[in-house]
């Protein structure tokens, strides 16, 4: 009996969640551009995201060449180029316990 009540409660919660999601006002809006193809994205604060791309000809420029990374301000919808020194194609990243962000890339010979 208790198991049946638990199952019923989970079903009711699931259905209520679905109805809330269906009636929410979530939608996608493009208010700016990252200036690069964002293959890897990392939210680093309430209003900043870092994007990494592979070595390509992106429109965002830094030091006379295409930027392979950008710092995107979520409040102003503006991107600042990052001078990434290695091709971040096939990259993966995360945060260390001390808050340092790391991005590991593979190397193709």
Backbone Cα Rg of the chain: 21
pTM metric for this prediction: 0.63
User: Is the four-CA dihedral 59, 60, 65, 70 of positive or negative sign?
Assistant: negative
**Beta-strand relationship, 65-66 and 69-73:** unpaired
pLDDT in tens, the chain (109 residues): 555 555 556 565 666 666 665 556 666 677 888 888 888 888 888 999 998 888 888 889 999 988 988 999 999 999 999 998 877 777 677 788 898 877 776 665 5
Tokens (6 digits) for 54: 């592979």
Give the dihedral of Cα atoms 25, 31, 36, 40; nearest 10 deg. Answer: -30
C-alpha 106/C-alpha 101 separation (Å) is 17
């Amino acid at each position: 009996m208790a198991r049946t009540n638990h199952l019923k409660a989970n079903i009711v919660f699931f259905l209520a969640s679905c109805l809330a999601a269906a009636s929410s006002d979530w939608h996608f809006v493009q208010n700016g551009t990252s200036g690069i193809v964002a293959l890897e994205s990392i939210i680093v604060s309430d209003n900043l995201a870092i994007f990494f791309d592979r070595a390509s000809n992106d429109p965002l420029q830094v030091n006379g060449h295409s930027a392979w990374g950008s710092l995107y301000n979520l409040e102003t919808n503006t991107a600042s180029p990052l001078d990434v020194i290695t091709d971040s194609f096939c990259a993966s990243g995360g945060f260390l316990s001390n808050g340092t962000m790391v991005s590991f890339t593979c190397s193709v010979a």
